[in-house]
Amino acid sequence: MKLHSIGVIAVLLGLSTVPSHAACGGSGGLSVLDCLATAYIDRDATAYEALLSPDFTHVGTTPNATWTRAEEVQGANDFFSNNENIQLRIEGIESVEETETGWHLQGIRLSLTWVEGSRPEARTVHLTGEALVEQDADGPRLLRWTDVSRSEEDEY
Tens of pLDDT, residue by residue over 81-102, are: 999 999 999 899 999 999 999 9
Give the containing element (helix H, strand E) for 77. Answer: helix 69-82
pTM here?
A: 0.78
Q: Does domain 4-154 have CATH number 3.40.50.620?
A: no
* pLDDT beyond 60 at 123: yes
Give the containing element (helix H, strand E) for 134. Answer: strand 122-136
Domains of the chain, by residue range, sit at 4-154
